């Protein structure tokens, strides 16, 4: 094969490498059209979700009645359903974008493969010609002008080969970048799928809370108000019992066992934070709540079904449900996590718990969904920080002199008031 023939092979290879692009273009346009449709749907759903949130805010500001509570639950269900639809659309969009990237990868890989084959063929032909001494080529060819023409073609071919090597390297870099983008899209897809699972769990928890409320009240306003009144009355005796520890249970806390306070040691347990009551001697406590001893944690506004997350990685020290003991209105459904820094965190009033005792959890991991079980006259999350070495999970009656309805309820109990720590000493700066 002459050098001219080799150059022709390279040109043909380039022509063939462009051919698949026209077949791919139509598919790419169709994919983009579908992506645009999904994005339009997502934008519309965002508007609907914002409207539901506005309605929820207005409903929560109304006087607390059975109907207002049911209205809040219905709005929460509608909002969560719209969020689920939005997330599904986001997942579909991401899958389409992954297809787009896969198409780009296939196209680029095809270009690289075809150029490499043509380049290898041309270089072999060029090497064969270069291996023949010039004098032999002159003697073997009766037309000296033809030899010189071939030499000129060889020079052009060298330049073309160098250009192709550069193009090949560029195509390889495009392929690498596209692969990286695809991996990022897949990671985003996994995250969206996890979000969808959380939202679906939230919807289930909210529907269950609605069903439980209707069973408890039998749709009677008087029954609903009676439950609230009972919770308020029983909560006072529960708080009094916590302060009235048996002498044999009391234990002094070694200051060295208390982790040095620092902002950001713990993370917020909710994705959206709005505090409704602080730690210690709050105005609510001063008005007579908590037996006048102050609030032993902080409360966050959290509509039923709000995902509750671990403030720090650790091990689930215990879970429970004080509502299982008739007449006991305290923590309701609760979770406590033991951390490796001497702290334990307590989460109360769940509607649904998603972890179990002994389970290892990571920072930000889903623990369950907020509710208003136990002493909660409205949905919220109670969050407490305890000294691990000064806390036991036992029946309340084992630690106190009191015989309240909560005596047989299992819950975390500190050995002294100093076992309660101010969560703001460890949470991020506001």
Runs of H (alpha helix) within 132-256: 134-140, 144-217, 221-243
Dist CA 199 CA 305 (whole Å): 9
What are 46's two structure tokens? 């965002």
Better-scored residue on pLDDT, 103 or 386: 386
Dist CA 82 CA 85 (whole Å): 5
pLDDT value of residue 227: 86
Contact 199, 76 (CB under 8 A): no
Contact 346, 317 (CB under 8 A): no
Dist CA 211 CA 352 (whole Å): 13
- Give, as one character, the DSSP assignment of residue 259: P
Domains of the chain: 3-209 (no CATH), 234-425 (2.70.70.10)
Nearest Cα neighbor of 307 from 382, 377, 364, 386 is 364
Better-scored residue on pLDDT, 174 or 307: 307
Contact 303, 364 (CB under 8 A): no
Q: Give residue 105's pLDDT band: very low, low, confident or very high (50, 70, 90).
A: confident
Across the chain, what does the average pLDDT equal?
81
Lowest-confidence pick of 12-26, 150-164, 216-230, 330-344? 12-26
pLDDT value of residue 130: 58
Whether this model's pTM surpasses 0.85:
no
Answer positive or negative: Cα dihedral of 318, 320, 322, 326. negative
pLDDT value of residue 7: 40
Average pLDDT, stretch 314-335? Answer: 93
The Cβ of residue 306 has, within 10 Å, a number of other Cβ atoms equal to 25
The Cβ of residue 311 has, within 10 Å, a number of other Cβ atoms equal to 25
Q: Give residue 171's pLDDT band: very low, low, confident or very high (50, 70, 90).
A: confident
Q: Give residue 152's pLDDT band: very low, low, confident or very high (50, 70, 90).
A: low
């Amino acid at each position: 094969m002459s050098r001219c023939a080799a150059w022709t092979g390279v040109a043909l290879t380039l022509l063939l490498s462009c051919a698949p692009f026209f077949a791919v273009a139509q598919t790419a346009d169709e994919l983009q059209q579908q992506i645009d449709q999904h994005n339009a749907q997502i934008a519309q759903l965002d508007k609907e979700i914002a409207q539901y949130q506005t309605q929820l805010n207005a409903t929560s500001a109304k006087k607390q009645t059975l109907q207002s509570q049911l209205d809040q639950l219905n709005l929460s269900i509608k909002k969560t359903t719209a969020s689920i639809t939005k997330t599904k659309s986001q997942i579909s969009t991401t899958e389409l974008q992954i297809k787009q990237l896969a198409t780009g990868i296939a196209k680029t890989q095809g270009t690289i493969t075809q150029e490499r084959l043509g380049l290898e063929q041309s270089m072999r032909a060029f090497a064969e010609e270069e291996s023949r001494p010039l004098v032999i080529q002159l003697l073997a060819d009766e037309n000296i002008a033809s030899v010189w023409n071939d030499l000129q073609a060889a020079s052009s071919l060298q330049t073309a080969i160098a250009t192709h090597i550069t193009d090949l390297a560029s195509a390889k870099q495009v392929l690498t970048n596209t692969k990286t983008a695809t991996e990022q899209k897949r990671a985003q897809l996994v995250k969206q799928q996890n979000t969808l699972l959380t939202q679906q769990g939230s919807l289930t928890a909210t529907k269950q809370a609605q069903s439980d409320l209707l069973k408890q009240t039998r749709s009677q306003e008087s029954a609903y108000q009676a439950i609230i009144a009972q919770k308020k009355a029983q909560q006072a005796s529960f708080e009094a019992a916590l302060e009235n520890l048996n002498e044999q249970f009391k234990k002094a806390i070694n200051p060295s066992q208390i982790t040095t306070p620092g902002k950001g040691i713990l993370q917020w347990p909710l994705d959206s934070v709005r505090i409704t009551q602080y730690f210690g001697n709050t105005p609510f406590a001063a008005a007579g709540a908590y037996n006048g001893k102050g609030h032993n944690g902080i409360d966050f506004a959290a509509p039923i079904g709000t995902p509750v997350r671990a403030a720090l990685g650790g091990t689930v020290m215990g879970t429970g449900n004080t509502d299982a003991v008739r007449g006991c209105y305290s923590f309701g459904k609760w979770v406590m996590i033991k951390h490796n820094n001497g702290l334990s965190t307590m989460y109360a009033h769940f509607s649904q718990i998603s972890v179990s005792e002994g389970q290892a959890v990571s920072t930000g991991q889903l623990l369950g969904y907020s509710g208003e079980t136990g002493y909660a006259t409205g949905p919220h999350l109670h969050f407490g920080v305890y000294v691990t070495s000064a806390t036991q999970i036992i029946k309340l009656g084992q630690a106190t002199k009191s015989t309240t309805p909560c005596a047989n309820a299992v819950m975390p109990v500190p050995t002294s008031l100093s076992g309660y720590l101010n969560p703001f000493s460890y949470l991020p700066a506001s």
